[in-house]
Amino acid sequence: MSQSGAALGALTIHEAQDLLRRRQVSAVELTRAYLDRIDALDGRVRAYLHVAPDLAMAQAEAADHRRAAGEDTPLLGVPLAIKDMITLRGMPATAASAILKGFMPPYEATAVSKLRQLGAVFLGKTNTDEFAMGWSTETSAYFTTHNPYDLARVPGGSSGGSAAAVAADLAVAALGTDTGGSVRQPASWTNTVGMRPSYGRVSRWGVVAFASSLDQIGPITKDARDNAILLAAIAGQDPRDSTTMPEPVGDYQTELDGGVKGMRLGLPREYLVEGMHPSIKAAVLQAVERLASLGAEVEEMSLPNTRHGMPVYYLVAGAELSANLARYDGVRFGHSAGAASMWENYRQTRGQGFGPEVKRRILLGTYALSAGYYDAYYLKAQKVRTLIRQDFDHAFAAYDALVAPVVPIPPFVIGEAPTDPVELYLTDVLTIPTSLAGVPCVSVPAGFALVDGKRLPVGVQVIGKPFAEATILRIAHALEQATGCWRERPTLEPALA
């Protein structure tokens, strides 16, 4: 049975698999539909840094052959997008930075290899803030991605390209990375579901390093069921990443329909910050009321060290990125200024190759690690990080999960971000503490905020105890089924027939 390109573009993973299994569409037809949508619409959305039509069609043909031979996997023939912080063999890995322009990695991330083995189709690499340092994709060295719900606005960051691709139906689902909120924040602003797994749940091997004790790969999908499918595909211990844990990987779908009746959920009062946009606060409180109506017991509680999260994060992350980015020296790979002396070449290469935000954070991290300041800044930050983690430990002794807003403000107009870096860093104030604690959290669509006459998506963050991804996906699924707002897709023209 023939399916229109627009109809195929609107599919979830589980809907696409149903059509593929019933032979109502082939992987080649599905992939062609997505490539056609990218050709027609991505000139306006600008989600992709690199599109790979030849690779995608070859993988789709191989998927159809595998299915004809009797093979079946949850992702066989499903077109996905990969954030450009994650290496994929045969495609550039630039981290949206000029210093890595044209770099072709001779390897690929463990998560990508797992998807390849399952027969997934890779449409291309998505835009990101440079080295994942940003909130809007505006720090990308190449271009800014646009929010499909209002093309004049940012989609969030740093995984803005992946979130915009899923929201605009330019991929069935995507992978992003989350260091301080880079999956959850753009998911909240694009009406998608974005999961930051527990630290150690998904291998970081093959991810361009930002802050090694914080980075995590996470799925961005249209609904919670898809998120469960994609997370199960990439999760698990990896001998190449010593930080991955030997926790068993189950079928995250099995608990999705369990509902929330009888659950105890906490609403951290520190997350309802002063200055939060009133429409966002209203949407979050309505979501809490909805969960209560479904049978959950929701009560306000406290995470007292939340206020320390932002300074701790920017010290710890800055110190780690300062060390990780030292490898970009113009000698071994990537951009080289070609200066006569080694030290001058090093200075010019990094001066030309890194953007202003990356330079700012390198300076901050290097200062925190310098002689005479290590104990005063970095070491103290790590001690306070322990207190933040203990807040969550105490909370999960009393609650099954926590529910909170993701971002205190709606997506801003491109080019109108706050000029004060500290004010801009406050965009991450509600996602940073969970990153520091290493706990899993998922942003799920909860409603829309009315801003300047535009209805813009609002996400709610469900936070769980370590390795309780199944629990938070269950809550996210219950909430999205109750609200139904995830089904409201953006209108983009020209639409494909």
Question: For 67-89, how does the pLDDT look when each residue is reduced to its tens digit (9 = 90+)?
Answer: 999 999 999 999 999 999 999 99
- Mean pLDDT, residues 141-160 taken together: 98
Q: Kind of pairing, strands 48-51 and 216-221?
A: unpaired
Q: What is the pLDDT of residues 372-396, one digit of tens each?
A: 888 889 999 999 999 999 999 999 9
Domain that holds residue 177: 5-304+389-487
Average pLDDT over residues 197-219: 98
Catalytic residue among 97, 162, 182, 435: 182
Q: What is the DSSP string of 154-215?
A: ---SSTHHHHHHHHTTSSSEEEEEESSSTTHHHHHHHT-EEEEPPTTSB--TTBPPS-TTT-
Whether residue 2 is predicted with pLDDT greater than 80 in this model: the reply is: no
Q: Which of 83, 114, 125, 222 is catalytic?
A: 83
Is the per-residue pLDDT at 497 higher than 50?
Answer: no
Average pLDDT over residues 171-182: 98
Average pLDDT in the 213-231 region?
A: 98
Instruction: Select the more confidently predicted residue: 91 or 7.
Output: 91
pLDDT (tens digit per residue) in 258-289 = 999 999 999 999 999 888 999 999 999 999 99
Is residue 279 annotated as part of the catalytic site, yes or no? no
Give pLDDT, residue 78. Answer: 98
Does residue 174 form part of some domain? yes
Assess if residue 401 is contained within a domain.
yes
CA angle 236, 168, 183 (to 5 degrees): 35
Report phi then psi at 374, rounded to 5. -55, -50
List, in sequence order, every beta strand (DSSP E) within 302-399: none
Residue 1 has pLDDT above 60, yes or no: no
Bridge partners of 444, per DSSP, are 460
| Residue 69 placed within a domain | yes
Residue 241: other Cβ atoms inside 10 A: 16
Of the candidates 140, 158, 188, 435, the residue annotated as catalytic is: 158
How many C-alpha atoms does 214 have within 13 Å on its Cβ side? 29
- Please check whether residue 208 lies inside any domain of the structure: yes
Higher local confidence (pLDDT), 212 or 419: 212
CB 415 within 8 A of CB 466: no
Mean pLDDT of 397-401: 98
| Tens-place pLDDT, residues 282-324 | 999 999 999 999 999 999 999 999 999 999 999 999 999 999 9
Q: Is residue 383 part of a domain?
A: no
Whether residue 79 contacts residue 31, with contact meaning beta carbons closer than 8 Å, is answered with: yes
Q: What is the arithmetic mean of pLDDT over 444-462?
A: 94
pLDDT over threshold 70, residue 8: yes
CB 97 within 8 A of CB 91: no
pTM exceeding the 0.85 threshold for the entire prediction: yes
Query: pLDDT band at residue 496, thresholds of 50, 70 and 90?
Result: very low
Token couple for 87: 């290496």
Q: Which candidate, 107, 104, 86, places its Cα nearest to that of 95? A: 86
Question: Residue 372 falls within a domain, yes or no?
Answer: no
Residue 25's CATH number:
3.90.1300.10
- Judge residue 80's burial from the number of C-beta atoms within 10 Å of its C-beta, 0-12 exposed, 13-18 middle, 19 or more buried: buried
Top mean pLDDT of 1-5, 8-12, 151-155, 453-457 is at: 151-155
User: Do the domain assignments include residue 360?
Assistant: no
User: Which residue is it, tokens 């940073």?
Assistant: 432
Please write the tens of the pLDDT for every residue from 23-53: 999 999 999 999 999 999 999 999 999 999 9
Rg of the chain in Å (alpha carbons) = 21
Give the pLDDT band (50/70/90) at residue 6: low
Q: Is residue 182 annotated as part of the catalytic site, yes or no?
A: yes
Residue 373 confidence (pLDDT): 86
CB 292 within 8 A of CB 379: no
Find out whether 157 and 146 touch, Cβ atoms under 8 Å: no
Res 495: pLDDT: 47
Q: pLDDT at position 425, please?
A: 72
Q: What is the largest CA-CA distance in the chain?
A: 70
Q: What is the mean pLDDT of residues 225-249?
A: 97
Q: The dihedral of CA 225, 241, 313, 307: what is its sign? A: positive
Query: Could you give the number of structural domains in the chain?
Result: 1
| pLDDT on residue 5 | 60
pLDDT at 4: 58
Question: Are the CB atoms for 473 and 256 separated by under 8 Å?
Answer: yes
Query: Structure tokens of 171?
Result: 């991929």
Is 83 assigned a catalytic role?
yes
Check pLDDT > 70 for residue 203.
yes
User: Mean of the per-residue pLDDT values for the chain?
Assistant: 94
Eight-state DSSP code of residue 266:
E
CA 230, CA 486: separation in Å to the nearest integer?
18
Residue 497 lies in a domain: no
